[in-house]
Structure 1
Amino acid sequence: MAAELVGGAFLSAIIQTLFDKLATREMVDFIRGVKHDIGLNLLDKLKIALRSVDALVNHAEERQTTDLHTREWLNDLKDIMFKAEDLMDEISVLASSRKLEAYSGSSSIRKVSCPSLGRFREKMESIIENFENLVKQKDVLGLREGVDEKTFKNFQTTSLVGKSSIYGRNADKDNVIKHLLSASNDFSFRFEGHRNNYPSKRTRYMSYSKLQLDDLEKMMATCENLRTFLPSQVLSWPRCLNNEAVSSLISKHRSLRILSLSHCGNFTVVPDFLGDLIHLRYLDLSVTPISKLPESTCSLHNLQTLLLLNCACLAELPQKMGRLTNLRCLDIRGTKLSEIPLQMGNLTNLQTLTGYVLGSEGGSGIEELKNFPFLKGKISISNLQNIIDPQEAIKENLLRNMQLDRLMLSWSANADDSKNVRNILHWLEPPKTLKKLTIRNFGSTSFPPWLGDFQFLKLASICLYDCVNCVLLPTLGQLPSLKALSLVGFSSVIYVDEVFYNKSSMEMKQFQRQEITPFKCLETLHFENMPQWQEWLPFREEKGDEKLAFPCLKQLYIKYCPQLKAVNWIQKLPTLEKIVIEKCEQLEVAVPPNIRELQLECCEKASIQRPLPRLLNLTISSYNEVESLFQVIDNGSSCIQKLRISSCPLTQKLPCNGIANTLKSLNLTNCENIEFPMNQCFSYLESLCISCSCNSLRSFTIDMFPKMAHLEIRRCQNLESLVVSGVQAQNLQSLNSLKICECPNFVSFPEGGLAAPNLTNLHLEKCKNLNSLPCQMNKLLPSLMTLNLKECPELESFSEGGLPDSLNFLEIFHCAKLFTNREKWNLQKLPSLRSFAIAGSCQDEESFPERWLLPPTLTSFHILALWNLKYLYEDNLQRMTSLETLGIACCPKLQYMPAKLPSSISSLHIMTSICSIIPHIGCKCNATCWIYIWLIFCFFLCSVVSMIPKWKIGNSTEPFEDYIGLRVVVRYLQHAPQALVGLHLHHFGHDPDSPCHAAKPR
């Protein structure tokens, strides 16, 4: 029943859409242009045919679950409807083009070629004939017109299924819901990487979560008229969607309505024939390295959504963007656009425009904003310094009547015409519905009156950045809903006084009579980079008494205000929970007793005179009074859970008697002379990081921390060992991660081994005297998944018994002695090992890896900086039947790649000398199979590329001959894996004696 509802709603929606399009004025006017009223007769016939099939749809939907012939009839009907909708689109686009050409004066409205009309007439006649043929089949199929619709009347066609109303048989329920939400099994397809499951010729809507080159080619060969192509989720960009693949997709599927190429990192050039997708409604090119859009984009008259978010290389838009009159949404955040093209004001249907960039010459002016009456949501207007005459350009308040809730206004950093800037901001008063306002580089000395107007009832966030000429902060205390305020870069402000809270004295009296509290809803206040600021006065009533402002303030940030002196009055704020003070050397502050988080950095005069019983998080950096601070807070009543101390001149034992039973996280950085209290039991400490600190620490008793989950010791110069004092098997249950880095004297782990049954990550780096790993790792570390061993030159072997079976990821970098003893590793016995990387360990070896070294379960294998490596063992690689990624980097002598690679490989990365390896790839094999090779050079790009056509691969007689940009399509090996997506070659060095050095760039 539910399936019938879905299908019925789907078909009814298409039929209704066709009726609506047939009734539009542009359709009727266009058809009237056909001689002898042939067009109008065709319109009438099409309407009759639609009504005839519409009358049969309900009964057909009712019978399709039991009658395969009826289901096929419905599928044929959908096919014809899709074609009819395409035809309506084509006519609509042509009609729009004629209208635009007539408007521009470039041609007459009657100048339409007869062949175009004839082509449309032939298509419409064919569609009508197909509809009539379907109607003729009703008697054969037993379909009746006007079937009672009681089956459908009690159900909502807009809500497909309510999950909460289905009970029992959960697996079947999930399958049914998945089936229903697909709208039509034959027409919708989702590819998730299953090689035996590909779309059919009827597929119109396709999504994917995993996509590789051969999958794309097979799907494109099967599908004929896709309408939707988009990722179901963005996990990583699909490498196979490069310029050629996208061009093939666009050229074959001209009926696309929805196209998403978001996050396609290999898609760099948008093809000119993008404009042929005249049916396109939604185009997403976000996070792609494209630098421009072709002018043909302006032919997409049906386009409603264009997403260019974070296209960091995009520097310009097509000049005729104003032709996209149906555009509703344009997102250009994160681009390099320097201006918006002329005639953008023609886009009168725009509802979302994230950015409006004013050009210095030739671009759209600010006055065109008045043509966007439906604009809503958020907009950023930048380069406001390009407005020369604000009163002439802005004859009325452009933004006041828009439905905006977020607005950002910005000038260039060197805009300094104070009067002109202030007038511009005056005329850009936003609507009273605004919720968030951001202003950057405002160059005037004062703000216009509307900023801070209490009539902005919904304004909750204000951010003002780099207003360097302002001598007074704007009056913002009257805003009734303001919750977050950031004031950054007010270089000329010296005093913050009553103007910050109220306006003129007369308004102030009225303000007080109404008993309105300044900043009554403000929760977060941020001051930063105000080098001249000296004094912050509290709010006072006319009679002189202090009246409480900021009654709801929770967080206060004061950063880089070196001349600010006393703000002791903030201790009276009842709700203040977090204070952050950085680089305020003169600031005297009294901390409220109820504070929960405190950060002090480079503030010599900030002091705490009384206990802080509610303090949870404390961060102290470059603070000379840390010892006196602890005398106050470490009194037994503290409940500090997170403590971070850095660059403080402590010369005694860390004073933590009062917080040892509450502390959960402790971080000590750049405190070399501090003494760590190893005789103190930290009952609840979960995370400990010691970096460049505690030089007196020689042994670390690890079982003094029964709750410890993460331990990191870095650059502790005299640390020699980890030890245990009790029964470690019971006391190290919580340890999950252990990192010891750059401890040159560290030599040993606890005698008998490190019994940490839940340890998953062990990282040892730059411990130059360490010669052994913990004992019995295979038994005492049963959960270990990641092992990183880096630059431990004296490390000789793994512990007796080998590594634990649970190991999943192994890195061995620059451990020469350990590499020499690799025959004892027994990695081939590790059932869970999936990723292995080796670097900088091979001194004399010319080939690698040996047959017995690695397990067949490996999926990722990387070889780095093996300077003498010349060969890769082909047979050994073939044994890795699960290998998906093979990476080789900085192996300058590598000359020969295996002729055969495992068929499971999907990604091959070679980052080494191009000149040495290219001539020898697969030198013993026939070149009959195509793959794509991306050549990415760091240096001497043109010189290397100029040599490519001269190189041969294997026995092939064909050189590298077709390269576009950095992509070269080559004939490769007969045995190349079918799943291979790309061979990435990176040139990190250059041999001056190589032939590439003398080649001239093209």
Structure 2
Amino acid sequence: DECWKVFENHALKDGDLELNDELMKVGRRIVERCKGLPLALKTIGCLLRTKSSISDWKNILESEIWELPKEHSEIIPALFLSYRYLPSHLKRCFAYCALFPKDYEFVKEELILLWMAQNFLKSPQQIRHPEEVGEEYFNDLLSRSFFQQSSIVGHFVMHDLLNDLAKYVCADFCFKLKFDNEKCMPKTTRHFSFEFCDVKSFDGFESLTDAKRLRSFLPISNPWRAKWHFKILIHNFFSEIKFIRVLSFRGCLDLREVPDSVGDLKHLQSLDLSRTGIQKLPDTICLLYNLLILKLNSCSELEDLPLNLHKLTKLRCLEFKDTRVRKMPMHFGELKNLQVLSPFLVDRNSELSTKQLGGLNLHGRLSMSDVQNIFNPLDALEANMKDKDLVELELKWKSDHIPDDPRKEKKVLENLQPHTHLERLSIGNYSGTEFSSWVFDNSLSNLVFLKLENCKYCLCLPPLGLLSSLKTLEITGLDGIVSIGAEFYGSNSSFASLERLKFDNMKEWEEWECKTTSFPRLQDLSMRDCPKLKGLLEQHLQLKKVVVSGELIISGNSMNTSTLETLDICSCLPVNIPMIHFNLLREMSFSGGCHSLTIFRLDFFPKLHCLYLNNCQNLRRISQDHAHNHLVSLCIDECPQFESFLSEGLSTPLIGDENLKLLGKPMQIFFPSLTVLQIFGCPKLEMFLVGGLPLNLEYMTLSSLKHIASLRESLDPNTCLEHLTIETLEVEFPDEVLLPSSLTYLDIGNCPNLKNMEYKGLCHLSSLKLVNCPSLQCLPKEGLPKSLSSLTIQNCPLLKERCQNPEGEDWGKIAHIQDLNI
């Protein structure tokens, strides 16, 4: 019955109350073939929602795909059927996603740009913009459950089984490094991707040049701060990829100069050089007449854009945020196809500058910087913002700008009023004392996201509660706000759609009048660094996530704790944490101020996955009566009185001194799902018992030699522990202490007295990081484990000198390591 409900929810069309008897009979047989897999039920249900006749349903029931041969057993027939019935244009778009690794969270707009660069987005007679076509394709795949919304707003994921399906259907056209076991890339490969963690050093794959018709070269990072290295001549590489359409070097630190031969890549439609070391672009880049997308974000050395950039007349997306570029190139107003511009830099000759912007028919995203250079409010009208059908707009003044006339600042903002279709708006460093009426009068009826940041001259908030579609509101660094009252709401039933509300760095804010009829849909409330705001939040809210700091206290009486999933409390002042039942809470963090907490009763949090306890001065133990099957991650940091994980009343014999506190066998019993354990600054927690640590533990961080010394014996012989981090160790590391042989990753950081380190028995170690260890003198005489493939040495001056190529005394011990960062 549960399977039928899942299927029926997706198979019924809008407005249909039930299926007729014949369709229900066929539908139930299809449900049986899905074998209880929720994803299969969803996708096949979505497919059948588009089929109304009984013959269509019978064709799907009787399809030969349900009987896939054994060699394709990893492919779920229901998913393959859903793919088989996709329109051809959606098949191409879905199959291209085989380039993504499993669990990769992608942004809709970025994926649409990739599809665009491959010419997947077709519109008859070019009636619609390709971005609009891509939006339709994406939403269609989302509605059919091929994509899923991730926990991060605006991000999406593919289920692992659908990722397998994408790889299966694209066969040899997509090659994903490390996922595809073949050493040689097939000559049929059209699209190539790799993760930063798999290729920190790209030293040239000979087979890459065998794929003569390669169309995509795509490094993929998650998280975005990762980096990689490219050690083959880029000019030679360019000569081998004449048919490339998507080329990305994002995050490649070695790229400091783009060769002139880039101009020979005539088919190139997307070029991403973000977070590289380039200082300038060659003029030949302006010969790429088919280029649609150019991204140069976070190129911190880049000072100018090419003078002839306006010759790239097909360009639809230009991004160069966080660079040294301070002015727009001449004639940029000729880029008539531009849809996304981030940023547009307002020149001191604001009239000419805004006139060129006014001539662009932007339809996507615009980030407008240096707005303070608009001296005459009439120049703002020249930007023609009302006629630009933008989805997202960012307006930024310079942070140190001192206004000479707040009324003029308001008039400039007034004249930058965007189109009513706008969905996302950010205003930063605005210098007026009040906002223009269009920000709050609901003329922006589609606005779902609003961010007001560092508008320090603003004295009161506008009635933002009138924005009927607003889902996310972020207010940060408004130093002029002392009180928030009735003016914030605008009506009795305000903030009708708001789901996420964030206040941050509000230095002077003292009082908040929270209306009981407001925020009917609020789920996520964050209030950080509001030092003068005191008292109890009295609003009875059905929240899922709460983040608070300072003296603001949310008690169990002021919210429905049965709905709460995340709770993060940070305070330097004493706060009382209600020890009541939080039945759905998954993540919990206490940082400072929880002085009354002596025993943390884990039984009150039956669904807790992650627990972080920091600077709880009187915390002595974690207590629970039964095994906690959900706790995955536990961190205890700077809790000087913490003694034990032992439950009250639990009888476990102590070894040796009767005052010795033990981390005992109950950890295996009470924390069967624990995979991450981090312990810092807990001097009263003395040692681990033999075989006492959880069996599924994969990642540990320790700062005490006592804990490290007992680690090897406290682990089960079949331990899963692979990653160990040793942080802030104050003493020397004895030679006789052996680390667990199961380790594959070892990170040692911030250990000022560490002079030498032994790596005996670490036969599986593949990655070693040594960071901020100024006394570390040399590597072991016998060298490092042969299994090591990655070594990072940072801020270890004595060791750095010995590891220099080729004169260093320890160079011979590390020269063979593939990924070397010193």
TM-score of the two chains, using structure 1 as the length reference: 0.53
CA distance in 2, matches of 1:609, 1:193: 53
Aligned partner (choices 569, 594, 603) of residue 561 of structure 2: 594
Letter in 2 for 1:548: T
CA distance in 1, matches of 2:814, 2:615: 53
Counterpart position of 1:669: 637
Counterpart position of 2:590: 620
Q: 1:607 to 1:395 in 2, by over 3 A?
A: same
CA distance in 2, matches of 1:377, 1:748: 58
Q: Does 1:443 align with 2:411?
A: no
Counterpart position of 1:404: 390
Counterpart position of 2:663: 700
Cα offset, 1:560, TM superposition = 2.2
Mapped contact 1:767–1:792 kept (Cα < 8 A): no
Q: 1:837 to 1:682 in 2, by over 3 A?
A: same
Counterpart position of 2:688: 722
Q: Does 1:477 align with 2:465?
A: yes
Cα offset, 1:281, TM superposition = 3.8
Mapped contact 1:587–1:603 kept (Cα < 8 A): no
Structure 2 portions without partners, runs of 5+: 1-140, 147-164, 652-657
Residue aligned with 2:439, SS: coil
Letter in 1 for 2:662: S
Q: Does 1:536 align with 2:517?
A: no
Residue aligned with 1:385, SS: helix
Cα offset, 1:397, TM superposition = 6.8
Mapped contact 1:568–1:590 kept (Cα < 8 A): no
Counterpart position of 1:741: 703
Aligned partner (choices 366, 369, 377) of residue 382 of structure 1: 369
Residue aligned with 2:538, SS: helix
Counterpart position of 1:527: 503
Aligned partner (choices 555, 563, 580) of residue 532 of structure 2: 563
User: 1:526-581 CA deviation, whole Å, 9 max, x = no partner?
Assistant: 11222222222244xxxxxxx611111122222222322445431x33x2333322
Cα offset, 1:361, TM superposition = 5.7
CA distance in 1, matches of 2:602, 2:229: 60
Mapped contact 2:309–2:332 kept (Cα < 8 A): yes
Q: 1:842 to 1:636 in 2, by over 3 A?
A: closer
CA distance in 2, matches of 1:763, 1:847: 19
Q: Does 1:291 align with 2:291?
A: no
CA distance in 1, matches of 2:761, 2:511: 70
CA distance in 1, matches of 2:579, 2:184: 72
Q: Give the paired residue count.
A: 631
Q: 1:672 to 1:640 in 2, by over 3 A?
A: farther
Output aligned runs, 1:170-319, within 5 Å. Answer: 178=170, 207=192, 215=205, 230-234=216-220, 239-240=229-230, 245-250=233-238, 259-272=247-260, 274-275=262-263, 280-319=268-307
User: 1:29-70 CA deviation, whole Å, 9 max, x = no partner?
Assistant: xxxxxxxxxxxxxxxxxxxxxxxxxxxxxxxxxxxxxxxxxx
Residue aligned with 1:368, SS: helix
Mapped contact 2:644–2:663 kept (Cα < 8 A): no
User: 1:798-832 CA deviation, whole Å, 9 max, x = no partner?
Assistant: 8xxxx86x66567899998985xx9xx678xx6x6
Letter in 2 for 1:569: E
User: 1:160-197 CA deviation, whole Å, 9 max, x = no partner?
Assistant: xx9x9xxxxxxxx9999556968xx9xxx999897777
Cα offset, 1:356, TM superposition = 1.1
Mapped contact 2:635–2:677 kept (Cα < 8 A): no
CA distance in 1, matches of 2:273, 2:581: 53
Letter in 2 for 1:741: S
Residue aligned with 2:381, SS: coil
User: 1:834-889 CA deviation, whole Å, 9 max, x = no partner?
Assistant: 56899999999999548xx966x6656899999999xxxxxxxxxxxxxxxx9972
Counterpart position of 2:449: 461
Counterpart position of 1:61: none
Q: 1:403 to 1:550 in 2, by over 3 A?
A: same
Letter in 1 for 2:551: C
Output aligned runs, 1:318-337, within 5 Å. Answer: 318-337=306-325
Mapped contact 1:308–1:332 kept (Cα < 8 A): yes
Cα offset, 1:719, TM superposition = 4.5
Output aligned runs, 1:914-993, within 5 Å. Answer: none
Mapped contact 1:681–1:705 kept (Cα < 8 A): no
Cα offset, 1:434, TM superposition = 1.4
CA distance in 2, matches of 1:834, 1:270: 33
Output aligned runs, 1:485-884, within 5 Å. Answer: 485-502=473-490, 517-539=493-515, 548-570=517-539, 572-573=540-541, 575-584=542-551, 591-594=558-561, 596=564, 597-602=566-571, 604=573, 611=580, 614=583, 616=585, 617-623=587-593, 626-627=596-597, 639=606, 641=608, 643-650=611-618, 653-654=620-621, 656=623, 664=631, 666-676=634-644, 678-680=646-648, 698-708=661-671, 709=674, 710-723=676-689, 732-743=694-705, 748=710, 754-761=715-722, 763=724, 765=726, 791-795=732-736, 808=744, 849=782
CA distance in 2, matches of 1:618, 1:360: 50
Q: Does 1:889 align with 2:806?
A: no
Counterpart position of 1:104: none
CA RMSD of aligned residues (A): 5.3
TM-score of the two chains, using structure 2 as the length reference: 0.63
User: 1:730-783 CA deviation, whole Å, 9 max, x = no partner?
Assistant: x95444455543245976579x864352332374858999xxxxxxxxxxxxxx
Identity of aligned residues (%): 24
Cα offset, 1:700, TM superposition = 2.4
CA distance in 2, matches of 1:907, 1:808: 16
Q: Which has the larger radius of gyration?
A: 1
Cα offset, 1:341, TM superposition = 1.7
User: 1:58-112 CA deviation, whole Å, 9 max, x = no partner?
Assistant: xxxxxxxxxxxxxxxxxxxxxxxxxxxxxxxxxxxxxxxxxxxxxxxxxxxxxxx
Cα offset, 1:408, TM superposition = 0.8
Cα offset, 1:478, TM superposition = 1.2
Mapped contact 1:675–1:697 kept (Cα < 8 A): no
Q: 1:711 to 1:586 in 2, by over 3 A?
A: closer
Mapped contact 1:634–1:659 kept (Cα < 8 A): no
Cα offset, 1:424, TM superposition = 1.5
Q: 1:579 to 1:893 in 2, by over 3 A?
A: same
CA distance in 1, matches of 2:747, 2:604: 46
Letter in 1 for 2:512: W
Mapped contact 1:311–1:335 kept (Cα < 8 A): yes
Q: 1:227 to 1:811 in 2, by over 3 A?
A: closer
Counterpart position of 1:779: none
CA distance in 1, matches of 2:797, 2:380: 67
Mapped contact 1:586–1:604 kept (Cα < 8 A): no
CA distance in 2, matches of 1:666, 1:842: 31
